[in-house]
Amino acid sequence: MVLLVTRATGGGVGTGVTVKGGGGVGAGVTAKGGGGTSGGCSISTAGGDVLGGGGERPDNGGVVAHAPTPRTAAASTAARSHAGNRAIERKSSTMSRGEPLPALERTLYVVATPIGNLRDLTLRALDVLGQVDVIAAEDTRVSAGLLAHYGLHARLVSLHEHNEHKRAAAIIESLSSGKRVALITDAGTPAISDPGAALVRAVSAAGFAIVPIPGPSAVTAALSAAGIATPQWLFLGFLPVAAGARRAALERVRTLPYALVFYEAPHRVAATVALLAAELDSRREIVIARELTKRFETLHRCALADASAWLAADADRMRGEFVLIVAAPDDDGTEADAGEHDALLRPLLAELPLAQAVRIAVAQSGAARNRLYQRALTLQKMVKASS
Ligand code: SAM
């Protein structure tokens, strides 16, 4: 058995992760609905023990940490407590042994929970979930199972995409009265294709501290095991449902020099994989990561052109939860030319046999025969699938 351990540099998480044997994953670029969300924001922070730390918090890539101006008397009290938290942060950032710390009053803990295997709950998550007064959970029935498994008894309140704003007000009330609150979702890290961002924003704006308790997330689990050597990746979460919007979302990213990472549900995975092969260069590699950390965990790597056939070969391969990772395009202008090639091939294929269509397209474009041939095959499959 070989265990791969990475070296966190300067206590940073997410950037600068060193992967043995070259080829890092980790310097993530995150976009929801096609738009980035990382630049120039401000957040409040509070303490916690920092593993591998040393010195102040690591550089956050343009994110400025500060305490917002409190707006009410309650918020003022919160701000005082917040200042205390910052002091704890300074002290604790020199710790590296990870002693358990008491959960702080007037603090919202954003806690990652397992994506399948219940033993993936971190020790810190266990500490915090065992101490908070209230846990806001996406589906209280799902989370009740997790709490029962660990013998935890905090009060659960529901917080999902339809009540997040309303619930935020109640949670701010709880924090004002000195409570400790945790936020969890059904699986993985809150706010990653899950509710949580609006609550965090509201709580932060009210002057209370936010503490992340990092842990499992399907996106990082899949990337860590995909073996896709790319310094940058773009997380697109779920593609839109409507056909036009799905295509448009891919059109926006097809030429970007990043690996593309998607979440997908079982009833849409076949259609999404077919769409990726049709809209992106079908020679790009895909890793299909299914049921991570669970009994039927599968990681399959192939060319995009072959992915639909692999899925269709066994109905079980379409069951469960999926992360799809498409490797970055080759640095040869492949994707930039793809639209042009499609425009040339489509009308030819509508009238002529494949070989003849490809011959004419090669003569007109000067592109490599094999490249146009592969693309023509994909286009032909798409036409067949849609007729
Ligand atoms: N917040 C979660 C996280 O941090 O990963 C994601 C929640 S999102 C609503 C659920 C999606 O995550 C699933 O549809 C699937 O695409 C992905 N996912 C969650 N658990 C997974 C698993 N065990 N294996 C593969 N993908 C998973």
Which string of DSSP letters, residue by residue, matches 17-52? -B-TTS-----EEEEETTEE--TT-EE-------TT
Contact 213, 110 (CB under 8 A): yes
Q: Which two tokens stand for residue 132?
A: 């908070």
The best mutation among 223, 238, 296, 322 to test binding of ligand 1, ranked by most ligand atoms within 8 Å of the C-beta, falls on 322
Predicted TM-score of the model (pTM) = 0.72
Among the atoms of ligand 1, which is closest to the Cα of residue 297?
24
| Residue 93 CB–ligand 1 contact under 6 Å | no
How many angstroms is it from 292 CA to the middle of ligand 1?
9
| Residue 261 CB–ligand 1 contact under 6 Å | no
| Residue 289 CB–ligand 1 contact under 6 Å | yes
Contact 48, 101 (CB under 8 A): yes
How many angstroms is it from 218 CA to the middle of ligand 1?
5
Give just the sign of the alpha carbon dihedral 31, 222, 17, 107.
positive
* Dist. CA 284–CA 296, nearest whole Å: 25
The best mutation among 200, 321, 324, 325 to test binding of ligand 1, ranked by most ligand atoms within 8 Å of the C-beta, falls on 321
* Dist. CA 328–CA 330, nearest whole Å: 7
User: In terms of Cα–Cα distance, which of 264, 258, 263, 262 is closest to 229?
Assistant: 258
* Dist. CA 338–CA 357, nearest whole Å: 16
Among the atoms of ligand 1, which is closest to the Cα of residue 293?
23
* Dist. CA 264–CA 271, nearest whole Å: 10
| Residue 172 CB–ligand 1 contact under 6 Å | no
Closest protein CA for atom 20 of ligand 1: 115
Q: What is the full per-residue pLDDT of the chain (387 aa) written as tens digits?
A: 565 555 543 333 333 222 232 233 333 443 333 333 333 333 334 433 333 333 333 333 223 233 333 334 444 444 444 444 444 344 455 555 788 888 999 999 999 999 999 999 999 999 999 999 999 999 999 999 999 999 999 999 999 999 999 999 999 999 999 999 999 999 999 999 999 999 999 999 999 999 999 999 999 999 999 998 878 999 999 999 999 999 999 999 999 999 999 999 999 999 999 999 999 999 999 999 999 999 999 999 999 999 999 999 999 999 999 999 999 998 755 555 667 788 889 999 999 999 999 999 888 887 777 778 878 887 887 777 666
Write the DSSP symbol of residue 186: S
| Residue 187 CB–ligand 1 contact under 6 Å | yes
Q: What share of the chain is helix, strand, coil (3-state, %, to 5)?
A: 40, 15, 40
